[in-house]
Structure 1
Amino acid sequence: MRILTVIPELGAGGAEVVAVTLTRAAADDGHEARIASAPGFRVAEILAAGIAHTTLPAVGRRPRDLARSVARLRRVPAPDLVHAHNPKAALLSRLAYGHRVPLLVTLHGVAGHELGAAVRILRWSADQVVVVSPHLREQLTGRGFPADRVTVIPNGVARLPSYPRRRARAELGIAPGETVALCPARLVDQKRHDLLVEAWAALATHDRPPLLLLAGDGPNRARIAAAVARHDLDDRVRLLGERADMPRLVAASDLLTLATDWEGLPIAVLEALGAGLPVVISEVPGIAHQFGDAVHAVRPGSAADLATGLRAVLGDAGRRDRLTARASAAFDQRFGAAPMIARYRALHSAMTGSSVRIPTTTGVSP
Structure 2
Amino acid sequence: MPTPITSSLDVLHVTEACAGGVRRHLQLIIPELQRQGVRNGLWTFSARAEQNFAADVATWEPAPAFVQFQTLPRAIWPGLLWLLRCRLQKIVATLQPRCLHLHAGWAGLLGRSIRWPDTIQLIYSPHAFGILSGQSWLRRTILPQLETRLAERTHAYILVGPDECREARMMKLPEQKLHLIPNALPEDFAAGLLPREQARARLGLSARTQAILVPGRLAWQKGGDILLSALAQTRLPNPHTLFCFCGQGPQAAAWRRMARAGGIAGQVRFMDYLPDLRRLLLAFEAAVLPSRYEGLSYALLECLGAGLPLLVSDLEANLQDHTCHTFAAGDSDSLAQALPQFLASCQTRRPEKHHWTLSRQAEALQKIYAAASAPA
Q: TM-score scaled to structure 1, two decimals? A: 0.85
The equivalent position to 1:337 in structure 2, one of 341, 348, 358, is 358
In the superposition, relative to structure 1, how do residues 191 and 181 fare at CA in structure 2: closer, same or farther (>3 Å)? same
Contact in 2 for aligned 1:192/1:260 (Cα 8 Å): yes
In the superposition, relative to structure 1, how do residues 268 and 233 fare at CA in structure 2: closer, same or farther (>3 Å)? same
Contact in 2 for aligned 1:183/1:256 (Cα 8 Å): yes
Name the count of aligned residue pairs.
Answer: 343
Counterpart CA distance in 1 for 2:145 and 2:79 is 20
**Matched residue SS, 1:72:** helix
Counterpart CA distance in 2 for 1:262 and 1:273 is 19
**Matched residue SS, 2:355:** helix
Q: Deviations over 1:189-239 (max 9, x none)?
A: 222212211222334465515111111122212211111111222222111
The residue that corresponds to 2:35 in the other structure is 28
Counterpart CA distance in 2 for 1:129 and 1:43 is 27
In the superposition, relative to structure 1, how do residues 56 and 126 fare at CA in structure 2: closer, same or farther (>3 Å)? farther
Q: Relative to total residues, which structure has the larger helix share, 1 or 2?
A: 1
The residue that corresponds to 2:282 in the other structure is 251
**Matched residue SS, 2:15:** strand
Q: Does 1:133 align with 2:161?
A: yes
Contact in 1 for aligned 2:193/2:280 (Cα 8 Å): no
Describe how 1:169-180 pairs up with structure 2 within 5 A: 169-180=200-211
Q: Does 1:352 align with 2:342?
A: no
**Matched residue SS, 1:263:** coil
The equivalent position to 1:116 in structure 2, one of 129, 134, 144, is 144
Q: Deviations over 1:151-190 (max 9, x none)?
A: 1111112225211221221222110221111111222222
Instruction: Tell me by how many angstroms 1:243 deviates.
Output: 2.5
Q: Deviations over 1:16-41 (max 9, x none)?
A: 22223221122223333211113542
The residue that corresponds to 1:53 in the other structure is 67
Counterpart CA distance in 1 for 2:106 and 2:208 is 45
Counterpart CA distance in 2 for 1:42 and 1:347 is 27
The residue that corresponds to 1:106 in the other structure is 125
Which deviates further from its counterpart, 110-119 or 338-347?
110-119
Identical counterparts, % of pairs: 22
Instruction: Tell me by how many angstroms 1:57 deviates.
Output: 4.5
Q: Does 1:93 align with 2:121?
A: no
The residue that corresponds to 1:358 in the other structure is none
Paired residue type of 1:23 = I
Paired residue type of 1:346 = K
Counterpart CA distance in 2 for 1:224 and 1:67 is 35
Counterpart CA distance in 1 for 2:89 and 2:205 is 49
Contact in 2 for aligned 1:203/1:311 (Cα 8 Å): yes
Describe how 1:1-366 pairs up with structure 2 within 5 A: 1-11=9-19, 13-38=20-45, 39-40=49-50, 41-48=52-59, 49=61, 50-51=63-64, 52-57=66-71, 60-76=75-91, 77-96=95-114, 98-100=116-118, 101-113=120-132, 114=139, 116-117=144-145, 119-120=147-148, 122-158=150-186, 159=189, 161-204=192-235, 207-208=238-239, 210-288=241-319, 291-317=320-346, 320=347, 324-325=349-350, 328-329=351-352, 332-334=354-356, 336-353=357-374
Contact in 2 for aligned 1:90/1:126 (Cα 8 Å): no
Paired residue type of 1:352 = S
In the superposition, relative to structure 1, how do residues 233 and 26 fare at CA in structure 2: closer, same or farther (>3 Å)? same
Counterpart CA distance in 2 for 1:263 and 1:131 is 11
The residue that corresponds to 1:357 in the other structure is none
In the superposition, relative to structure 1, how do residues 183 and 99 fare at CA in structure 2: closer, same or farther (>3 Å)? farther
**Matched residue SS, 2:266:** coil
Instruction: Tell me by how many angstroms 1:280 deviates.
Output: 0.6
Paired residue type of 2:266 = D
Which deviates further from its counterpart, 302-311 or 343-352?
302-311
Counterpart CA distance in 1 for 2:110 and 2:248 is 25
In the superposition, relative to structure 1, how do residues 57 and 43 fare at CA in structure 2: closer, same or farther (>3 Å)? closer
Q: Deviations over 1:268-288 (max 9, x none)?
A: 000111111111101024433
Which deviates further from its counterpart, 152-161 or 175-184?
152-161
Contact in 2 for aligned 1:212/1:236 (Cα 8 Å): yes
Q: TM-score scaled to structure 2, two decimals? A: 0.83
Counterpart CA distance in 2 for 1:206 and 1:273 is 24
The residue that corresponds to 2:136 in the other structure is none
**Matched residue SS, 2:265:** coil
Q: Which runs of 5+ in 1 are unaligned?
A: 355-366
